[in-house]
Amino acid sequence: MHAPVRALTATLAALTLSSCSLMGGSDPAEPSSSASDGTTGGTSGGTVVLATHESFHLPKKLVREFEEESGYTLEVRAAGDAGTLATKLSLTADNPIADAAFGIDNTFASRPLGEGAFASFSPTTTPPDEYALADGGDRLVPIDSASVCVNVDTDWFDREGLEPPQTLDDLTDPAYADLLVTPGASTSSPGMAFFLATVAQYGDDWPDYWTDLMANGAEVVDGWEDAYYGDFTAGAENGTRPIVVSYDSSPAFTVTDGRTTTAALLDTCFRQVEYAGVLAGADNPDGAEALIDWMLGDEVQSALPESMYVFPVMPGATVPDDWAEFAPQPTSPFEVAPDEIAANREQWLTEWTDVVSR
């Protein structure tokens, strides 16, 4: 009877020990409330907390440089997708979860703005006007942009001796029947962007376009990863569809032997711009402003493509050679005003779901 007792004690002891090491080790007592140290003193210092989505990433070296130069400690809370972030910020507008937020895009901007989540702020360097929000431009600062465009597997089209499509209209051409796969507007952010491109192009007639698209054998899947890695001929092992909704930068990732095997159709693009802002009621607003200024600086802007797969907004930033060569950006992407998106999103999605489920 001693054996089970001993074994149990040993197990419990092991569990307790290993867990103690976790609680002690992973988070060296550094609560965010210490941020107030910095603001009360009037000089820089303390912790600045950034709320963002799960795709956020910047090189550790750059973060260290920022901390050394500014005297702040950066704490990143990255979780959930852009919609989750927007909801989080909207729900906690009266007691913010961080000092600054990054990753609110133009399709979600009006919600947290409407809830009063952001304080007004003007950065020391001004990004180009073309990215500014018409409403809320005093609170949200553009940091990067990425356009969602229809991509084609040019190798596949070469092999088949077929001319690739060019426009949204082409996608309903029977010549391209059963070749398109797109993530859903209701479940995916690029899916939503593609849907908005069709709204911008066809206005109130978009349901007719989508009816034609579905009749022409378009496949609608859950997320971008399903479409690209599950169905796209250039992304999946046994994909069957050479037309996919992806990004303008995607062709830079299919480069072999000095040429890319895919192309983005630049007349089908909807531009997503990601913004940053200082949260209203932040513990450390000075730190938040310093952080956003840093994100507009040359180092971060030039690191954006490799770290987050997006284009910088500042004209002086450098982009990688592959990007410059193989991933041209659209010159006149489709646009839909954030307010219009917010006002119609639910009704559009309901109607869209009906059309694609038919």
Among 20-28, 140-148, 156-164, 289-297, which window interacts with other proteins (CB under 8 A)? 20-28
- Given candidates 207, 240, 281, 299, which one binds other proteins under the rule CB under 8 A? 240
> Which is nearer to other proteins, 127 or 283 (by Cβ)?
283
Contact status: 286 vs other proteins (CB under 8 A): no
DSSP 3-state assignment of 53?
A: coil
- Given candidates 9, 37, 43, 59, which one binds other proteins under the rule CB under 8 A? 59
CB 118 within 8 A of CB 109: no
Structural element, H or E, at residue 357: helix 338-357
Contact status: 231 vs other proteins (CB under 8 A): yes
Residues 174-193 that bind other proteins (CB under 8 A): 184-187, 192
Longest CA pairwise span in the chain (Å): 79
Pairing of strands 262-264, 141-153: antiparallel
- Given candidates 222, 293, 339, 351, which one binds other proteins under the rule CB under 8 A? 222
Beta bridge pairs of residue 135: none
Contact status: 226 vs other proteins (CB under 8 A): yes
Q: Cα torsion at 287, 291, 297, 302 (round to 10°)?
A: 160
Among 131-139, 162-170, 207-215, 235-243, which window interacts with other proteins (CB under 8 A)? 235-243
Residues 309-338 that bind other proteins (CB under 8 A): 309
Contact status: 345 vs other proteins (CB under 8 A): yes
Compute the least distance from the CB of residue 234 to other proteins, in Å: 9
What single-letter DSSP state applies at residue 205?
G
- Given candidates 45, 46, 103, 235, which one binds other proteins under the rule CB under 8 A? 235
- Main-chain dihedrals φ then ψ at residue 296, nearest 5 degrees: -90, -10
Compute the least distance from the CB of residue 349 to other proteins, in Å: 7
Contact status: 35 vs other proteins (CB under 8 A): no
- Given candidates 13, 229, 318, 324, which one binds other proteins under the rule CB under 8 A? 229
Q: 30-68 in b/e burial notation, b at 16+ Cβ within 10 A? A: eebeebeebbeeeebbbbbbbbbbeebebeeebeeebee
- C-alpha to C-alpha distance for 134 and 84, rounded to whole angstroms: 23
Residues 190-209 that bind other proteins (CB under 8 A): 192
Compute the least distance from the CB of residue 130 to other proteins, in Å: 25
Q: Using CA of residue 98, residue 278, residue 81, residue 238, what is the dihedral sign?
A: negative
Compute the least distance from the CB of residue 235 to other proteins, in Å: 7
Beta bridge pairs of residue 74: 48
